[in-house]
Amino acid sequence: MIDTIDGPPSEERFYLVPLSERGPAPSRVVASYGFWLFLLSDIIIFSAFFAAYAVLSTHTDGGPGGTQLFKPAHVLIETSCLLVSSFTCGVMMISIDRRSARSTYCWALLTALLGAAFLWVELTEFHDMVLLGAGPSRSAFLSAFFALVGTHGLHVTLGIAWLIAMMAQVATLGFMPMVMNRLLCFSLFWHALDIVWIGVFTIVYLGVHR
């Protein structure tokens, strides 16, 4: 990043300069662009698991299928938790823009708790399935199911850990640009997980009634 001699340009002046003469982009643009590339590569992983699931969802090997295993009430709770947590994450970003630490902690706590509630319901569901003898090694359908839904759950787990680390950063370092960039990336990550869940909800849980 190159600074101008009289300090960095204001945002309005920045956009008046033609694109080819603006020089390197601000660090938050560079950071979020790099993070978008990561998210796209993550989406590719999920696409592979979605494709595998689409092919294997009927291959139950005489074992239980989705109709017997999935509980619509649980899925409703999971989906609500994640969608509301996306909203609270958005409000957290507004608090961060206003540099309000206390409000940031509150909304971050709410986001993490909703994420944890989602995980709790999901893990309960996995636990019950394994007890019923419907673990990942039972059939190709269940291997694909646990791979896809489990990978999403792993992402939510890491997201919660990341959010906790970021709140520790806000507490110790304050709202410095480095921390703000990371919070921006976190919110991109969290919303992307929500989009992937919409795919899981549609293809795995709604697709079962076809």
Partner 1 sequence: VIIGGVLFGAFAGYTYWFPKAFGFRLHEGLGKAVFWCWFIGFYLAFMPLYGLGLMGATRRLQHYSNPAWQPLMVLAFAGATVILLGIVLMVVQLVVSIRRRDRTRDMTGDPWNGRTLEWSTSSPPPAWNFSALSTVSSPDAFWKRKQQRTAIALPLRSITVPKRNPLGVQVAVLVALMGFGLVWHIWWMAVLGLVSALGVSLRNAWRADLEETIPVSVLTAHEDIHSTRVMRK
> Which of 171/206 has CB closer to partner 1?
171
> Which of 17/206 has CB closer to partner 1?
17
Give the span between the Cα atoms of 92 and 18, in whole angstroms: 34
DSSP string, 16-56: HS-GGGS-SPPHHHHHHHHHHHHHHHHHHHHHHHHHHHHHH
- Other Cβ atoms less than 10 A from the Cβ of 147: the count is 16
CB of 58 to partner 1, least distance (A): 30
Name the 3-class secondary structure at 174: coil
Q: Is the dihedral of CA 57, 61, 66, 70 positive or negative?
A: negative
> Which of 23/133 has CB closer to partner 1?
23
CB of 209 to partner 1, least distance (A): 36
The one-letter amino acid code at 108 reads A
Give the span between the Cα atoms of 210 and 207, in whole angstroms: 6
> Which of 87/162 has CB closer to partner 1?
162
**CB half-sphere exposure, 5, CA atoms < 13 A:** 0
CB of 4 to partner 1, least distance (A): 7
CB of 26 to partner 1, least distance (A): 11
> Which of 54/188 has CB closer to partner 1?
188
CB of 27 to partner 1, least distance (A): 9
User: Residue numbers of the site for partner 1 (CB under 8 A)?
Assistant: 1-5, 23, 165, 169, 172-173, 176, 178, 182
- Other Cβ atoms less than 10 A from the Cβ of 176: the count is 10
Give the span between the Cα atoms of 163 and 172, in whole angstroms: 14
Name the 3-class secondary structure at 113: helix
CB of 77 to partner 1, least distance (A): 30
> Which of 151/169 has CB closer to partner 1?
169
